[in-house]
A and B are shown apart, each in its own frame.
Chain A
């Protein structure tokens, strides 16, 4: 079974620039997540999709972050404009989990390491 694919692997940008990350989840997984992991901390949920609908974006800084999941498969996370504090690893994960049925683990991609200078 293919894993969760993410690109790019690394990205260095200057503050106030924009950046986009791409994720392709495991085939058949309805739920897709974007997490932010700051060095030395656990992953923090940014947004959760079920199929192509947003389930939870309460922790997404909507003034600068946006995400979409077209056709319920691939997803893109964008930051515009970036700030220094956005430097982190951005992890995409997918799961067979559905609303009301939280019995499944998550499969994470390798992440994109973003450095904002």
Chain B
């Protein structure tokens, strides 16, 4: 039930945009997004609970397509501080325990 993330890695110049995708083979209740910098703990960015929902966090936003069991994370006008590994986590619809399955991550590198 581990979600699949793509791409595996992205390299950007400061100010460029990026999209990270997360897809699941199972129907989803929710999607989480986290960012982890090297040697640090994952940091919660946002949670999406409803199909069609979009959320924003400064210049980072995400969407959730419930029918396609997919979510995308959008990073606009990227900053150096956006560098890190981005993980999506999914909770399956009908889950009684709310177990969160993480993808393998997308490594984002922003260069000046």
Contacts and interface: CB of A to CB of B under 8 A. Distances in A.
B68 to A, nearest CB: 21
A108 B43 contact: yes
A106 B87 CA distance: 13
Contacts of B96: 99-100
Contacts of A107: 44
A56 B97 contact: yes
Contacts, number: 59
Interface string A90-117: 0100000101101111111111000000
A105 B98 contact: no
A20 interface: no
Contacts of A42: 2, 87, 89, 102-105
Given A44-B102, A48-B99, A99-B96, A110 B40 contact: yes
Contacts of A111: 41
Interface of A: 4, 40-45, 48, 55-56, 91, 97, 99-100, 102-111
